[in-house]
Structure 1
Amino acid sequence: MKFTSEDIETLEQIILARRDVRGNRFINSPVSQKDIDKILFAGVNAPSVGFSQPWEFVVIKDLDIRNKIKESFFEENEKAKQLFKEKRADAYTQLKLEGIIESALNIAVFYKPSKHPILGQTTMKEAGVYSVVCAIQNMWLMARALGVGLGWVSILDPNKIKTILKAPKDRKLIGYLCLGHVDKFYENPELERLQWEKRKNINDIVIKESY
């Protein structure tokens, strides 16, 4: 299969338009099962080390479960606040960092370790986890192409989430995602807009041959 210059341009636009969506952007509108299936399809067709496909996806719509997840967020968020000082501490308290309840659904993405050696993972054990991250990126891009917002919530206690979701002991939580339709997508990342961080220059981070 060959792709046209228009295809390449569209892919670039989707990559540049991808956003980490917060709870204040979600609207009360369900995501169709067709769109959910497309997003999951994108995830399961991500690259994986040794074609191990070490991912599992827990789709959560139940509000009781999501409220329990949000309690974990509140607990961890209070701890996180203590790490930022002065102006950043004030700015942190103003940020809306999740959309667990506001979104239409949540998806918890887990890494399932293999019981036998995996090609390509014998030396770099973490390559399996990286594969799951690739699945999440695929989902993020497909969601954006469908006009569905996706936010990755990382201020959570993985073990508490595993307990709430009754996950097997060997599973590892990699990403907790909030998905839903939004009132708008920002033209540039929210944390860039708020000047939390500045965008890095590509010439400062691409190194030729060696350090």
Structure 2
Amino acid sequence: MSTDHAFSTDEINAVYRAIAERRDMRHFLPEPVAEDTLLRLLQAAHNAPSVGLMQPWHFIRVTDPELRQRIHAMVDSERERTAEALGERGNDFMKLKVEGIRESGELLVVALRGGREKHVFGRRTMPDMDLASAACAIQNLWLAARAKGLGMGWVSLFDPDELGTLLDIPEDGRPIAVLCLGHVEAFYDRPMLEQEEWTEGLSLEHFVSTNHYRPIEE
């Protein structure tokens, strides 16, 4: 059934295309991102829904080359610890390119703001809805970047306390993402971890049931 509130067919197709072709990018070109483009992408992120309209996100734009290098070193150290934790898959993991911190045109760190405890609306039984809200902002940024032809990668290989100290994030705040954003030579045809044969994503039928939780065996 059609509705007067629907976008045009071309606009709808564009939304679904951005969703389908979004990739977690690791390979970047060193070209800078235009200032007006970056501002528009950050505004798209800021337009995200948030529980109780708490807007728990804070975006830190990293422009200091030395600071960028220190973040890279921090991520690289965690990469080695992750490889060790993976046991027999550790060597394969170390062959994967897991970030583009030194190459991407822009580097952003997303943090949960301090003072979030005062927001009770929607969080009394689910306090982690602040994280869910910030993730919506990141997804907005990701999709807007893809529509603009820019790639983005979400890096989570870091110690939150260590990164928080480095970036002067308040004790009641918390970094949740290092985002590599910039121009790319090409987008991956499939998720990179599938292309590298690290894992395979499952189809939708494995994640939908009716009335009760009924997972389909993998």
Q: Give the TM-score category using the shorter length.
A: over 0.9
Is residue 61–residue 104 contact of structure 1 (8 Å, CA) maintained in 2? no
Shift of 1:115: 4.7
Choose from 15, 19, 24 the match for 1:15.
19
Is residue 54–residue 119 contact of structure 2 (8 Å, CA) maintained in 1? no
Shift of 1:64: 0.5
Is residue 148–residue 179 contact of structure 1 (8 Å, CA) maintained in 2? yes
Choose from 2, 8, 20 the match for 2:6.
2
Q: Deviations over 1:148-195 (max 9, x none)?
A: 111111111111111111111111111110111111111111111112
Q: Deviations over 1:23-53 (max 9, x none)?
A: xx21121100111111101110000000111
Shift of 1:104: 1.3
> Residue type matched to 1:154 in 2?
S
The 3 A distance-change label for structure 1 pair 205 and 65 is same
Output aligned runs, 1:52-201, within 5 Å: 52-86=54-88, 88-112=89-113, 113-201=115-203
Distance 2:166 2:85 in 1: 27
Is residue 52–residue 118 contact of structure 1 (8 Å, CA) maintained in 2? no
Q: Percent identity?
A: 38
Gaps of 5+ in 2: 214-218
TM-score with structure 1 setting the length: 0.94
Distance 1:10 1:149 in 2: 17
Distance 1:91 1:4 in 2: 46
Shift of 1:11: 0.7
Distance 1:110 1:130 in 2: 12
Distance 1:129 1:84 in 2: 26
| CA RMSD, 1 decimal | 1.3
Is residue 42–residue 138 contact of structure 1 (8 Å, CA) maintained in 2? yes
Gaps of 5+ in 1: none
The runs of 4+ residues in structure 1 deviating greater than 4 Å are none
> Residue type matched to 2:111 in 1?
F
Paired positions, count: 208
Distance 1:71 1:170 in 2: 25
